[in-house]
Amino acid sequence: MVSSMASKVFKLIAEEARRQKYGLEMIPSENYVSSNVLRALGSILTNKYSEGFPGRRYYGGNEVIDKIENYAQDLAKKLFGVPVALVQSYSGSPANMAITMAVCNPRDIVMGLSLSSGGHLTHGAHLSFSSIFYTAVNYSVGKDWKIDFEELETLAKKHKPKLIWVGTTAYPFKLDYKKFRKIADMVDATLVADISHITGLIIGGVHTSPVPDVDIIMTTTHKTLRGPRGAIILVTERGLARDPEIKAKIERAIIPGIQGGPHNHQTAAIAVSLEEALRPSFKKYAIAVAKNAAVLAKELGTVSETHLILLSLTKYGYGMGYQAQYALEEAGITVNKNTIPGEPASPFYPSGIRLGTPALTSRGMKEEDMVRIAGWIKRVLEEIKGLDLPKKQEERKDFLKEVKEKIHENKNLKQIRKEVEKFAGKFPVPGIQ
């Protein structure tokens, strides 16, 4: 019998299921996992403590857990073509912390793309461990929103970083790993690729693999890979040649450095998602994600070479990211506000939105559907014209409260939501009836 307290939780899960089914999930770092991934994630494997690594556990009773983790590692090595794969990291940020600990000593210099240019917190952003415990130097993008390799080379020669990150979180262009390798070699830096956002595109052959050019790779498993929330750390042949002890160093950073016992149900679910990624159908999925993104971007007046679109809203007014996110959510479309390069407003109330196609493509939506969705987005954005962010900080709190009320009462947004719900309800969501 389900307790009244637990029944409330399951009612809320049902509420979230409805939101997912009848809305359009367009945050590019979110996706839908298969029913089999859900089965593994909700399995009895969550009951077992397994600190340590296969064959080297601090607890007994891990014979089966060892087989599962070894299997997940073998699948990752096969999928990416690398000699070392570690699957215990709870998520991307702790995985990046483990890599940094393995490569660097405290206060060593690390370089990464700035947050405002589309980089990640763990690549050297202010207030992240990567700038608190290490000396962070950020490179950036140019006026064309693409990585400025001249600046990167100049900064690398000046600061001599121990580690250079190549990875993005809000960057709609392909990455040239060979250019990064050339600069890393100039200063004898370890080159680490964070491919979390584009892993599925790499597996599908849409993007070039970083394996021949970098030393270490980190990927989360829950974005374009369509797995559970988790992370995989890979060491390439080049990385092993650079430091034969790097696997052991990363393992020590994971435990006892950062984590305790691994989440065995998560490891099993990662293995299931890797099995799925090895199927020919996954390549078709990855190609469709990129095609959908390109069409969506074109319809919105911009470009995308990946799965995501970074859309500037400066033509709609000043500091419109928050207003756009809230208005789109009212219309049943989920995106996230995001800074744009050269942000004219505020990191907290930025001038852009970030959206993408992985989740929509997982539901079976195609290029013609992107045209229709872009039409809804443009209609919503027209509704926020005139709702410019006040330039005086003290005026923003009351302004945003009023904006939310206006948006919530907007009849045109309510109409768009009805259209979106009717459309989205036709497409299945894995694990949701």
How many angstroms separate the CA atoms of 379 and 374, rounded? 9
Distance CA 270, CA 73 (A): 10
Amino acid at 192: V
Cα-atom radius of gyration of the chain, to the nearest Å? 22
Q: Which of 225, 252, 277 is the last residue before a domain boundary?
A: 277
The pLDDT score that the predictor gives to residue 422 is 98
Residues 100 and 186 in one domain: yes
Do 165 and 96 belong together in one domain?
yes
Residues 273 and 288 in one domain: no
Same domain, 285 and 407: yes
Strand order, beta sheet including 352-356: 308-312, 352-356, 336-338
Do both 339 and 368 map to the same domain? yes
In a domain, 216, yes or no: yes
How far apart CA 288 and CA 294 sit, in angstroms, is 10
Res 4: pLDDT: 62
Give me 296's structure tokens: 């969506």
Task: List residues with catalytic annotation.
Answer: 49, 51, 194, 220, 223, 229
Are 269 and 187 within 8 A, CB to CB? no
Q: Residue 368 is part of a domain; what is its CATH number? A: 3.90.1150.10
206/225 same-domain check = yes
Query: Are 317 and 392 contained in the same domain?
Result: yes
Q: What is the mean pLDDT of each run of 10 residues along the chain (433 residues)?
A: 72 95 98 97 97 96 98 98 98 98 98 95 93 97 97 98 97 98 98 98 97 98 97 98 98 96 98 98 98 98 98 97 98 97 93 98 98 98 96 93 96 98 96 80
User: Are residue 237 and residue 384 in the same domain, yes or no?
Assistant: no
- Cis ω on the peptide bond leading into residue 256 (within 30° of 0)? yes
- Does 18 map to a domain? no
Angle at 196 between CA 191 and CA 197, to 5 degrees: 120
> For residues 184-200, b (16+ Cβ closer than 10 Å) or e, as one string?
beebebbbbbbbbbbbb
Query: Could you give the number of structural domains in the chain?
Result: 2
Integer Cα distance of 307 and 310 in angstroms? 10
- Token digits of residue 405: 């009320």
* Residue where a domain stops, chosen among 245, 277, 309: 277
pTM across the whole model: 0.95
Q: What is the pLDDT of residues 408-418, one digit of tens each?
A: 999 999 999 99
Distance from C-alpha of 118 to C-alpha of 112, rounded to nearest angstrom: 10
What pLDDT shows up at residue 215? 98
- Nearest Cα residue to 355 out of 340, 337, 375: 337
165-206 confidence digits (pLDDT tens):
999 999 999 999 999 999 999 999 999 999 999 999 999 999
β-bridge pairing 135-139 and 109-113:
parallel
Q: CA–CA separation, 262 vs 51, rounded Å? A: 6
Domain span at residue 389 reads 280-424
**3-state DSSP call for residue 335?**
coil
Dihedral angle sign, alpha carbons of residues 147, 138, 351, 408: positive
Shared domain for 210 and 290, answered yes or no, is no
Backbone angles phi, psi at 25, to 5 degrees: -85, 110
Please indicate, yes or no, if residue 17 is contained in any of the structural domains: no
Q: Which two tokens stand for residue 258?
A: 């950062």
**Residue 211 in 3-state DSSP?**
coil
The answer to whether residues 241 and 375 belong to one domain is no
* Residue 430, pLDDT score: 86
Say yes or no: 105 and 131 in one domain.
yes
> How far is Cα 48 from Cα 261, in angstroms, rounded to an integer?
9
